Amino acid sequence: MLRRLRHTGWRSLLATALFMSGASGAFAGPCSVSKVSVRGDFGELQFNVEIADTFDERAQGLMHRASMPRMAGMLFVYETPQPVSFWMKNTLIPLDMLFVDVRGEVVRIHENAVPGDLTAIPGGDNIFAVLEINGGLSKDFGIRAGAQMRHKSFPQNHAIWPC
């Protein structure tokens, strides 16, 4: 077996290892709890995310943070699609908010939400998730409504870009 592996090359060995391991651990497949992928005319992007999927986590959000790494964010996930509205109370950094339906389609984007602003930012009626990223990144990358998002939180039987 060892002799055979030497002749197959490292790429084949890696592919076999990934297949046999179910692509878990350090070699996570296309979907990971801590990663969100977004694709559109701009190509494909990946953000490292924290998940806010409980009432308390969603209420806290990104408040009181002085900074956030460029390709990081927070993914707010709801139990069912619903009307959502955000504000920037106690939020210290400008944020872009991507409002997403249960299929993973970005239906609305609010760019550069103003830190500390108490004005309601409506997302829509049937929102399943909201991705908050650093303010200005949507414009910088060309992310627009209609972009598609992939994450384990989206029901895979509804997803337009499944895991």
23: pLDDT strictly greater than 50: no
Chain segment 141-155, per-residue pLDDT in tens: 999 999 999 999 999
Chain segment 31-87, per-residue pLDDT in tens: 999 999 999 999 999 999 999 999 999 999 999 999 999 999 999 999 999 999 999
Distance (Å, whole) CA 53 – CA 106: 18
What pLDDT was estimated at residue 29?
61
What pLDDT was estimated at residue 143?
98
What pLDDT was estimated at residue 26?
44
Mean pLDDT for the chain overall: 87
Say what the alpha-carbon torsion angle 129, 130, 133, 138 is, to the nearest 10 degrees. Answer: 100
DSSP annotation of 114: P
20: pLDDT strictly greater than 90: no
What pLDDT was estimated at residue 4?
34
**How wide is the angle at C-alpha 77 spanned by C-alphas 134 and 124, nearest 5°?**
80
What pLDDT was estimated at residue 30?
74
Name the more confident of 80 and 29: 80
Reported pTM: 0.82
15: pLDDT strictly greater than 80: no
Query: Which domains, ranges and CATH numbers included, belong to the chain?
Result: 1-28 (no CATH), 31-150 (2.60.120.1140)
The average pLDDT across 2-9 equals 36
What pLDDT was estimated at residue 8?
37
The average pLDDT across 88-97 equals 98
